[in-house]
Amino acid sequence: MVFLYNRLGDRVSFSTAGWKEVLDNAGIHGWKAAGTLQPPVPFDLDSCHSETVTWDGNYARPLGQMVTPSDAAELAAAVERALTLGTDWNVNRRSALRAFTSFCRQRGFLVSSNRFTNRPLGVRRTTTPPAIHYKIAS
């Protein structure tokens, strides 16, 4: 699974194949991937060497990388073009893909393989409505 989180705490999830399909269809419909921002490097107290990791800017492997706001907006526009032009999607929920385009326009997002909650378990919210969560299956 691939989980996407925006700065508002909203989450969208895709199967790995579904996420790849979104990226592929967006590329076919004009999205020029700018590359993601490198995820944070794990801090290791047992290592005296600082690790230098070369980042390739990928989107497909969910490692905690960030998609910038402008790149996410371009991704949304390409997905909308693909929906408008009638692209055959294995992801069969067009309304969920439209919701994904709105999600993309919320100032970028993080790509992760981990499912997080935006509040501690067992704690009830009393003043703020729950975050929006979408699951898009393939």
Instruction: Tell me the per-residue pLDDT of 74-91, one tens digit each, with 9 for 90 and over.
Output: 999 999 998 888 777 765
Tokens of 31: 């999205």
Instruction: Tell me the per-residue pLDDT of 101-120, one tens digit each, with 9 for 90 and over.
Output: 999 999 899 999 988 765 55
How high is the pLDDT of residue 133? Answer: 55
How high is the pLDDT of residue 127? Answer: 43
pLDDT band at 128 (very low <50, low <70, confident <90, very high): very low
Instruction: Tell me the per-residue pLDDT of 2-46, one tens digit each, with 9 for 90 and over.
Output: 999 998 889 999 999 989 999 999 999 999 999 999 998 776 677
Mean pLDDT of 35-62: 80
Tokens of 1: 């699974």
The answer to whether the beta carbons of residues 14 and 134 sit under 8 Å apart is no
pTM of the model: 0.77
Residue 110: closest CA among 14, 1, 20, 36: 36
- For the cut 50, the answer to whether the pLDDT of residue 126 exceeds it is no
The answer to whether the beta carbons of residues 15 and 72 sit under 8 Å apart is no
Residue type, 124: R
- For the cut 60, the answer to whether the pLDDT of residue 123 exceeds it is no
State the average pLDDT for the chain.
Answer: 82
How high is the pLDDT of residue 129? Answer: 44
